[in-house]
Amino acid sequence: MDLHELDEIRLETYDKSNIYKERTKAFHDNKIQQKDLRAGDKVLLFNSKLRLFLGKLKSRWSGPFEIKEIMPYGAVTLLGKDGTEFTINGQRVKNYMANESTKVVTSLYLTDTATV
């Protein structure tokens, strides 16, 4: 093999590696969910340490906690019930909807059974 061919192969491999990294990052970024969180909102915290068979029927969500501050890059500072503060990743929380009311709609279908 010629020295020029080796350089071309190396540069081609480098370009393919960059394309792979870009595609992987784009796929990862598409999976990240954007959440509308504000200071003062109530949220539930996901407990990722609860494994299978340790409490199969236990809920993996704990809380509610109050958001004290939203930091850059998705970090969230939460306030516990006893006033303790801790900072976690914003992907581990979801909105707590205790006071949300759901609209109940019922439908009644009438059929004409009389023959003319």
pLDDT for 49: 72
Confidence check: pLDDT of 48 > 90: no
Residues 76 and 49 in one domain: yes
Rounded-to-integer distance, Cα 37 and Cα 24, Å: 27
For the stretch 78-99, pLDDT in tens is 998 888 999 998 888 998 887 6
Q: Is residue 76 part of a domain?
A: yes
User: Which residue has tokens 């909807």?
Assistant: 97
Residues 63 and 84 in one domain: yes
| pLDDT bucket at 37, cuts 50 / 70 / 90 | confident
Query: Rounded to an integer, what is the distance from CA 26 to the centroid of its chain?
Result: 16
Domains of the chain: total: 2
- For residue 6, what are the domain limits? 1-32
Q: Is residue 61 part of a domain?
A: yes
**DSSP character string of 2-59:** -HHHHHHHHHHHHHHHHHHHHHHHHHHHHHSPP----TT-EEEEE-TT--TTTSTTS-
Q: Is residue 113 part of a domain?
A: no
Look up the CATH number of the domain holding residue 55. 2.30.30
